[in-house]
A and B are shown apart, each in its own frame.
Chain A
Amino acid sequence: MEILVCVKRVPDTAENEIAVNRDGSDIERDDLVYSVNEWDNYAVEEAIRLRDEKGGSVTVVSVGDEESEEVVRREMAMGADKGVLLSDDAFEGADGRGVASLLKAAAEKGAYDLILTGAQADDGAGQVGGMLAAMLDLPYASLVNSIEVVDDRRLKVGREVEGGNQEMNAIEMPCVLSIQTGINEPRYVGIRGIRKVASVEIPVYDAAALGVAAEAAGGAGAAVKRLDYFVPALGDGAEMLEGSTEEIVEKLIEMLKAKGGIK
């Protein structure tokens, strides 16, 4: 089974406090720790699992600047066979549609049975997988939390739907799936693993190599544009308890008793 997994380098929300920058044009990017998008990491693990079970190869692709190379390399250290970086100054500011059109061009350079994306990334849009499937005219399933290979042409996939229920579907390959967290337990990648792939050549494709019109893919062609970033003032917010730990604990216990929080 030939599998393509699309990954993105994002600010790690577990490691950073995300704040708006001074003029509201972006988030504050100084001192941010970046990592591979959490959902994508599950997608790569799932691809590796399927390859180990059924044979074939796993290719990891990312749209981004040269710093995204480290993310591709990390996923190769997990066990992906190949890595590709789609990078061009003209791609800067691409919206979901722009990214999907670049991934489409990359996907068409191979013959993939299965294309995986994370269910969503830092912007919470959850759009690239579905757009890519539509552009390639392939069947799509989102929020996938289980994959079972039925035969050479069919998969049985579970989708995580409301209330923790699982919607089971039969889907024909080739297809595009967006992967939900929790589908597996992504393996740990240590320094040693990264070192092993440190010298592996990761090809970089620019607009010309992909055969896409650069202006259409990048920010200039984006249909949806961000005007600013801000933190909304929602209601009054919480009453913040301050003081020494003992004082806070005492106040909190009083409140919990009043609200029936302590039996």
Chain B
Amino acid sequence: MAAQIFAYIPHKQGTPDDAALELATAAKQMAPDAAATAVVTGTGADLDAVCSAMAKVYPAVWKIDNEALSYPNAEIIRSVLLRLLPEKALLLVPHDTFGMDLSPGLSIKMKAAFIPDVVETAPIENDELKAVRQEYGGAVSTHVVCSVAGGAVVNVRPGAFQPRESADAGGQVTDKSDDVGDVSAKRRYLETVAAEVGDVDITKEDVLVSIGRGIEDEDNIEIAEDLAKAMGAVVSCSRPIVDAKWLEKSRQVGTSGQTVKPKVYLACGISGSFQHLGGLKGNPFIVAINKNPKAPVFQVADVGIVADILDFLPELTEALE
């Protein structure tokens, strides 16, 4: 295995993202004997703090300090990485909103393969990387294979690889800041607008009655509200309900919505995409009600009921009343 492995480390306010440790696990699975290099871009004291933390996990750390990198603008970071990474490098990036922005274009510029949203991988053999991805919102999985002889960019799904406890790696931090070159870009970061706060804070609720596509019509939301009332719960939802403007964004559970940690979660007519489940923390008791017996949500739920929620929820409400 000749290729060098690199991991792009996302961080905020001087703290590495959880993905930093997950990428280390993924790198070890792909190349058990290789020493991966953490690549950290940013500026000032926050960057130094992240580099120090990463030196405990990775045997080598690249520190790339530039005022233009104070916010992770993928358009700038792409050109910086292109200049700094050696030929045929294998780069791991979290498949989050930054990685989705950065990686497809980077793979083209590196003339390297790209595997998005990897959930499992095997050790690289004969320059071939075999990985598992999901399609159709997690309904089916697929093994994919690609040659990494010419390098590769691999986007790794957040949460798919467990961080491993290990001894202090005693990594060396190398300052690469002088080599960044041109940091101009045709896209400029302006500001981040915080999600609007709604009338109800679903992140503080113990019991959530959550609805998805299975509710079918805006008028049917009443059915979920009646059940929530009978249970002393609050109604939350998955993405399609917000896209349809049936409920406010502040009610959405998922990586692009709220992260909730209830004790009990009723997933009603929700298929269970990883983006949705990614917003569900704290190991709640999950009840899934879906008319599709193959819905992925049944794999993660504690209790499953195959039923049309439009029939089942009113029955449940009536029994409670």
Binding site for B on A (CB under 8 A): 11, 13-14, 17-20, 27, 96-97, 100, 119, 122-131, 133-135, 138-143, 156, 158-172, 175, 181-182, 185, 223-232, 234-235, 237-241, 245-246, 248-250, 252-253, 255-256, 259-263
Contact = CB atoms under 8 A, between A and B. Distances in A.
Interface in B213-236: 213, 231-233
B96 to A, nearest CB: 7
A171 B231 contact: no
B137 A124 contact: yes
B126 interface: no
Identify whether the interface residues of A are mostly helix, strand, loop, or mixed.
mixed
Contacts of A263: 207, 231-233
B231 A227 contact: no
A6 to B, nearest CB: 13
A148 B132 CA distance: 38
Given A134-B105, A235-B299, A241 B304 contact: yes
Nearest to A139: B186
B187 A124 contact: no
Contacts of B302: 238-239
B292 A238 contact: no
Interface residues of B, number: 94
Contacts of A131: 104-105, 107-108, 114
B245 interface: yes
B185 A161 contact: no
Given A165-B194, A169-B189, A227 B144 contact: yes
A135 B108 contact: yes
A223 B194 CA distance: 39
Contacts of A135: 108
B142 interface: yes
B101 interface: yes
Contacts, number: 271
A13 B266 CA distance: 22
B187 A97 contact: no
A224 B147 CA distance: 8
Most chain B beta-carbon contacts within 10 A, residue among A126, A141, A158, A224: A224
A260 B263 contact: yes
Interface stretch (B32-40, B169-177, B250-258): B250-258
B133 A124 contact: yes
Contact of B116 (A126, A158, A166, A239): A126
26 contacts: A13-B136, A19-B294, A27-B136, A96-B104, A122-B135, A124-B137, A130-B108, A131-B107, A141-B187, A161-B97, A164-B195, A164-B257, A166-B195, A167-B193, A170-B187, A175-B187, A226-B142, A227-B145, A238-B298, A246-B315, A252-B316, A255-B303, A256-B264, A261-B233, A261-B285, A263-B233
B2 interface: no
Contacts of A122: 135-136
A130 B103 contact: yes
Contact of A245 (B190, B298, B312): B312
- Sorted nearest first, the 3 A-B pairs with minimum C-beta distance are A263-B232, A130-B104, A238-B304
A224 B188 contact: no
B303 A239 contact: yes
A100 B233 CA distance: 47
A225 B146 contact: yes
Nearest to A11: B136
B264 A143 contact: no
A232 B193 CA distance: 38
Contact of B100 (A142, A226, A261): A142
B113 A161 contact: no
Nearest to B147: A223
A125 B117 contact: yes
B243 A181 contact: yes
B256 to A, nearest CB: 6
